[in-house]
Amino acid sequence: MNRRNFLLGTAGVGALLAGVGAWLRPADRGGPYSDYFRALNQELKAHGPMRPVMLIDLDHLDHNIDVVLQSVKRSGKQLRLVEKSLPSPGLLDYIGQRAGTQRLMSFHQPFLNHDAQRFPEADILLGKPLPVRSAELFYQGHKGPFDPARQLQWLIDTPEHLQQYLALARGLGTRLRINIELDVGLHRGGVKDSLELGPLLTLIAANPQHLEFAGFMGYDPFVGMGVPGILGSPEALFAKVMQRYQSAVDFTRQRHPALWQPGLTLNTAGSPSYRMHEQEQLSSEVSVGTAMLKPTHYDLPSLSEHRPAAYIATPVLKSTGPVRIPALDDKSKLFAWWDPNQRETFFIYGGNWLAEFESPSGLQSNGLFGRSSNQEMVNGSPAVGLGPDDQVFLRPMQSEAVLLQFGDLLAVRGGRIVDSWPVYS
């Protein structure tokens, strides 16, 4: 619980004003579970661990995988799964088998070592330039049949970074496959023009015993995120993305034709934008991760065919009636009188996640009482009908960090628990 909210003075007044603002919103009396969540509640009460868990709905996940597959088949491209957004080997294996892909994008050195052991046949592309010390630690910890010289691409963004990796390759007596990050409009790093690209290609060409050009990566989620129209239509932004990508390809083929070999990885897209790449034939693959689970931040027009496939479920520990705020005591009745959504109080197991309440409808955190990661106060109307051990369901706002907070993922199908998958550690 946030103790600062109990203090009198400026902080206390601010919290009280925030509470008054909540009174002025139209009341949402909410209601009990839908049939979907009623079945999950019954299953978790009978067979769940009675603690906060992350559920993966396999029926919805299958639908999302198939939507992605239909798109990549139309485009003729390959699919690369973004591991950070699906941070469970069992989840990745399930999606990879249904989608028929062994291509992964990794962002974190400990996960990369795990990938190399768990998926020895995988083709792995780094999704961000890692410090060279991280790369050194990967090689120190690597064991098993996975061959980094053939199956791993390190992402590089600057000549200085590439010089560090060259020194590492010399020290290890190996050759590193180098994929170059392109700034195609996100402006988060990567080379933006031929003046920056040229020195990288020249350094690779001059050191064939230690460096191999593997391709380009151009990440463009912003074209599918719904930027304000004044900044350009999605189609216009996409055209600029592909123009920048094409310029890098043309420069490489003209100035360093020996580096342009068959089988290069020309990676692009991201969950919000992968569908737009059905329109172009330049790239060879698209990266997709979060779209497979569709958390709330991905409720986008570009993902309208996708279904939410991940939910947090946590049990009610206590039901204590109308809201009562420390220090206000009986004066707290004013809240319940004014707002029907504060006539019932529930304390849930855990809380304060990066997530939004989903079911029963009408639930809300109490900002005046304060957030808690231990026993969060949740308010609703009497219509929600919750009692101790009933489950509160939330949708995560994102997948990558939130999925790591609950231990094993519980896979459900048809409202029943059918499997559990450990997450990365």
| Per-residue pLDDT tens digits for 45-97 | 999 999 999 999 999 999 999 999 999 999 999 999 999 999 999 999 999 99
pLDDT tens-digit series, residues 147-159: 999 999 999 999 9
Give the up-direction half-sphere exposure of residue 121: CA atoms within 13 A in the CB hemisphere.
6
The whole-angstrom separation of Cα 334 and Cα 103 is 58
The whole-angstrom separation of Cα 186 and Cα 269 is 11
Can you give the pLDDT at residue 229? 63
> How much is the average pLDDT of 24-38?
70
pLDDT tens-digit series, residues 173-219: 999 999 999 999 888 999 999 999 999 999 999 999 999 999 999 99
Can you give the pLDDT at residue 256? 98
CA angle at 207 for the pair 201 and 213, rounded to the nearest 5°: 45
Model confidence, pTM: 0.89
The whole-angstrom separation of Cα 168 and Cα 174 is 9
326 pLDDT more than 60? no
Q: What is the DSSP letter of 408?
A: S
pLDDT bin (cut points 50, 70, 90) of residue 320 is: confident
The whole-angstrom separation of Cα 100 and Cα 75 is 16
The whole-angstrom separation of Cα 263 and Cα 283 is 12
The whole-angstrom separation of Cα 264 and Cα 262 is 6
Residue 409 Cα to chain centre, angstroms: 15
Domains of the chain, CATH where assigned: 3-55+308-421 (2.40.37), 78-283 (3.20.20.10)
Ramachandran angles phi, psi of 216, nearest 5°: -130, 155
β-bridge pairing 310-321 and 53-57? antiparallel
Residue bearing the bigger pLDDT, 386 or 366: 386
pLDDT bin (cut points 50, 70, 90) of residue 25 is: very low
| Per-chain mean pLDDT for the chain | 89
* Percent of the chain topping pLDDT 70: 85
The whole-angstrom separation of Cα 15 and Cα 422 is 39
Write out the two tokens for 77. 């491209």
Can you give the pLDDT at residue 19? 44
137 pLDDT more than 50? yes
The whole-angstrom separation of Cα 405 and Cα 338 is 36
Write out the two tokens for 295. 């958390």
> How much is the average pLDDT of 336-349?
71
pLDDT bin (cut points 50, 70, 90) of residue 13 is: very low
| 3-state SS class at 273 | coil
The whole-angstrom separation of Cα 355 and Cα 397 is 5
Can you give the pLDDT at residue 218? 97
Nearest-Å Rg of the Cα atoms of the chain is: 25
Can you give the pLDDT at residue 98? 98
Q: What is the DSSP letter of 258?
A: G
Can you give the pLDDT at residue 1? 44
Can you give the pLDDT at residue 366? 80
pLDDT bin (cut points 50, 70, 90) of residue 242 is: very high
β-bridge pairing 310-321 and 391-396? antiparallel
Can you give the pLDDT at residue 84? 97
The answer to whether 221 and 270 are in contact (CB under 8 A) is yes
Task: Name every residue whose Cβ is closer than 8 Å to that of residue 149 and which is 6 or more positions away in sequence.
Answer: 174, 175, 176, 177
329 pLDDT more than 60? no
Beta strands in 4-101 (DSSP E): 53-57, 78-82
pLDDT bin (cut points 50, 70, 90) of residue 225 is: confident
32: left (phi over 0), alpha (psi -120 to 50) or beta: beta
Can you give the pLDDT at residue 185? 86
Distances (CA, A) of 4 to 19, 157, 343: 15, 44, 24
pLDDT bin (cut points 50, 70, 90) of residue 23 is: very low
Count CB atoms within 10 A of the CB of residue 57: 22
The answer to whether 333 and 322 are in contact (CB under 8 A) is yes
Can you give the pLDDT at residue 22? 41
301 pLDDT more than 60? yes
**Amino acid identity, residue 45?**
K
Can you give the pLDDT at residue 277? 97
Q: Is the peptide bond before 360 cis (omega within 30 degrees of 0)?
A: yes
The answer to whether 365 and 376 are in contact (CB under 8 A) is yes
The whole-angstrom separation of Cα 139 and Cα 166 is 14
The whole-angstrom separation of Cα 339 and Cα 334 is 8
Residue bearing the bigger pLDDT, 324 or 395: 395
6 pLDDT more than 50? no
Distances (CA, A) of 316 to 36, 290, 407: 19, 29, 19
The answer to whether 339 and 361 are in contact (CB under 8 A) is no
Can you give the pLDDT at residue 231? 64
Residue bearing the bigger pLDDT, 25 or 385: 385
Q: Is 281 buried (19+), middle (13-18) or exposed (0-12) by CB count in 10 A?
A: exposed
334 pLDDT more than 50? no
